[in-house]
């Protein structure tokens, strides 16, 4: 063997072995973030025509790809191959759960016919006939006409099809606004209604929701070769949420007002003068608070002024003069705020006292007119 070819083969074995060790250690995250590559599983040297273990042959990097891209694709191919062969070894050992997991992870990196066929065979062995049937169909769609595995996959499709459980979902007419349906946690689109859907045997969960409707959960059990239809209407209409007066909760279990207990009156039922009076009281109180804050600042500036100035000799530096000017400004602000706030609060208090606490009801008005 030429020396160059021998070195290439050794390097290729070294990379593949390193990728397999990375898989065992669970450090695949960095490689999973690489860009997509073409189907690259290597053909097993001893694969027979009847074996589904024949991934496609390695694909060369695309023309114009940079060395970094080629390295990333090469690493991705190595990881996909390592996962594939781990799945094969697990399947031969009878560990179907691990085998299906490795084939699915390999398939996520490289959607090749070989990985699809092996995953389909694994799912079939676990009794998931619909999952296997779909994988076989996907593999056939990706094979070339002269692929020797095409006959095997087609035979498995024909064998599994009569055993498929099927479920048909029927939507109500007209459909409620905002109707949403999910099957086994997966949201369904508009094309999901009225057509048979192949599913694996077992229990499946349908959830239906709509605007203003109660949530509805439905469990459907399907056996082998069993077909069922299901109406997927949402739950009943939700009752309208009652709106109580301000301060009184309408939620179930909340405390309700009783005669003689503390109650509140809705703002809309108050006389306009009374509402205006309370508003002016609030504004007046804010003015008084502002006046008090400004008065406090006057005292602060006076302390600074006393440190830098005297009544006989004037101010020794600019800081004392600045404190004097600020003190005059704060004093003016305090006087205006106090006066305005007090006046506004007084007007508000007059309006509150002059207006009735509750509006007269229609019944009382009519009885007064009758008298």
Contact predicate 324/305, CB 8 Å? yes
| Token pair 């949530």 in the structure block, residue | 215
Residue 122 pLDDT > 90, yes or no? yes
Structure tokens belonging to residue 108: 């996520």
For 1-52, the pLDDT digits (tens) are: 444 444 445 545 554 554 444 444 333 333 333 333 333 343 443 333 334 5
For 197-239, the pLDDT digits (tens) are: 999 999 999 999 999 999 999 999 999 999 999 999 999 999 9
| SS3 of residue 172 by DSSP | coil
Contact predicate 99/91, CB 8 Å? yes
| SS3 of residue 229 by DSSP | strand
Q: CA-based Rg of the chain, rounded to a whole angstrom? A: 41
- Residue 370: exposed, middle, or buried by beta-carbon count in 10 A (0-12, 13-18, 19+)? exposed
Contact predicate 109/87, CB 8 Å? no
Q: pTM, whole model, 2 decimals? A: 0.51
For 251-297, the pLDDT digits (tens) are: 444 444 444 444 444 444 457 777 787 888 888 888 888 888 988 88
Secondary-structure percent of the chain, ordered helix, strand, coil, rounded to 5: 55, 10, 35
For 301-313, the pLDDT digits (tens) are: 888 878 877 665 5
Contact predicate 208/192, CB 8 Å? no
Nearest to 132 by CA among 141, 140, 142, 120: 120
Cα 83 to the chain's mean position, in Å?
31
Structure tokens belonging to residue 281: 């009281």
DSSP letter string, 236-270: PBPPPPP---TT---STT-----TTS-----GGGS
């Amino acid at each position: 063997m030429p020396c160059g070819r021998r070195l290439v083969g050794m390097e290729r074995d070294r990379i593949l072995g390193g990728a397999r060790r990375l898989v065992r250690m669970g450090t695949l995250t960095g490689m999973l973030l690489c860009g997509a590559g073409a189907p690259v599983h290597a053909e097993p040297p001893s694969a027979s025509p009847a074996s589904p273990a024949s991934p496609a042959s390695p694909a060369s990097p695309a023309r114009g790809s940079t060395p970094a891209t080629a390295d990333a694709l090469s690493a991705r191919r190595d990881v996909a191959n390592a996962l594939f062969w781990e799945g094969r070894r697990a399947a031969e050992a009878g560990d179907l759960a691990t085998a299906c997991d490795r084939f699915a992870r390999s398939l996520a990196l490289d959607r090749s016919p070989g990985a699809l066929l092996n995953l389909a065979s694994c799912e079939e062995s676990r009794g998931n006939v619909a999952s296997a049937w779909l994988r076989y169909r996907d593999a056939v769609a990706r094979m070339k006409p002269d692929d020797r595995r095409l006959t095997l996959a087609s035979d498995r499709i024909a064998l599994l099809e009569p055993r498929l459980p099927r479920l048909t979902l029927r939507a109500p007419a007209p459909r409620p606004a905002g109707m949403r349906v999910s099957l086994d946690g997966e949201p369904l689109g508009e094309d999901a209604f009225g057509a048979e859907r192949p599913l694996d045997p077992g229990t499946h969960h349908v959830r239906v929701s709509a605007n203003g409707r109660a949530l509805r959960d439905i469990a459907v059990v399907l056996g082998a070769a069993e077909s069922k239809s299901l109406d997927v209407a949402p739950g009943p209409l939700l009752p309208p949420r009652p709106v109580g007066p301000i301060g009184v909760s309408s939620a179930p279990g909340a405390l309700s007002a009783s005669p003689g207990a503390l109650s509140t009156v809705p703002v809309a039922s108050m006389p306009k003068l009374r509402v205006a009076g309370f508003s002016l009281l609030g504004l007046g109180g804010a003015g008084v608070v502002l006046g008090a804050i400004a008065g406090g600042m006057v005292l602060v500036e006076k302390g600074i002024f006393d440190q830098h100035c005297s009544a006989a000799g004037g101010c020794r530096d600019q800081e004392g003069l600045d404190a004097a000017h600020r003190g005059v400004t704060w004093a003016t602000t305090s006087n205006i705020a106090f006066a305005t706030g007090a006046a506004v609060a007084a007007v508000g208090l007059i309006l509150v006292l002059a207006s009735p606490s509750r509006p007269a009801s229609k019944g009382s008005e009519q009885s007064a007119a009758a008298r």
